Chains A and B, each alone.
Chain A
C-alpha cells in the first residue's frame, strides 16, 4: 500500500542556509500535518493543511513557511537555519476527520552545521 513519502531522507545544511522539505500524502488524503522531533523529544506540531488551506498552526518559527499544492503534496520551507533546527521532521496525512489515524512518513533528518 502507498505510504506517506518524504524527501529528502537526510539533509545537511550550514547555518543561515535554507532548506525545503517535501511531503507526498497517501492518495485521497487531503490533510497534511508537519511535526518536528528534536533529539530525545516527542514530536511537536508545526502546521497543518486541509484542502490547500492552512488549518492549524503550532510552534512553527517565523523563519519557516509551508504550503499545500493542488496535488496535495506539501513543502516546508526553512530559512536562516539555526543549529537548533537540527531535528527529524515528520509529515503525516489523514482524511479530514482523522478517525482512521494519521499515517506518518519516515521523516527527513535535518542536520544544521
Chain B
C-alpha cells in the first residue's frame, strides 16, 4: 500500500523568509510525486511533479521540490515566501502502473505573516 506523511500540521513563516513543507512517502517501486495547493473553498491546484530525471523539480509560483530516494522524501520549498502563499498544501504519491490512484498526505497549512 502507498502512503504519504506530512509531519507538520502547520508551518508559520515570515514573508520573505524561506519556506519548507516536509513530505515523506512509501510506495512500491519508483514513485510519481506531486504537490498540490488548496485555497479555502477551492479545488486542488497542481504545483509540481517528479516523474523522472533531475531530483530538483521546479514548479509554479516559484516553488520547487527535491526528490530524495534514499530518504523517501519530497520536500516542497520556496526561497522567499509571500503572504499569498498562505494555503493548505498536499503532497501526493502514486505508483507507476497505469490507473494507480493518487494518495494524499494529511496536508500542511502554511501561514505566511507580513
Contacts and interface: CB of A to CB of B under 8 A. Distances in A.
A19 B48 CA distance: 34
B106 to A, nearest CB: 5
A104 B41 CA distance: 14
- B contact residues, range: 20 to 34
B99 A50 contact: yes
B98 A45 contact: no
Majority SS of interface residues in chain B?
A: loop
A45 B101 contact: yes
Tell me which of B34, B102, B103, B106 has the highest count of chain A C-beta atoms within 10 A of its own C-beta.
B102
A33 interface: yes
Contacts of A44: 104
A106 interface: yes
Interface of B: 32, 34, 36, 41-46, 49, 51, 90, 94, 96, 98-107
Contacts of B46: 101-104
Nearest to B47: A101
Interface residues of A, number: 26
Given A42-B90, A43-B104, A56 B44 contact: no
23 contacts: A33-B102, A42-B90, A42-B105, A42-B106, A45-B103, A48-B99, A50-B98, A55-B99, A56-B99, A56-B101, A92-B102, A96-B98, A96-B99, A97-B96, A99-B49, A99-B96, A101-B34, A102-B34, A104-B36, A104-B43, A104-B44, A104-B46, A105-B43
A58 interface: yes
Nearest to A103: B46
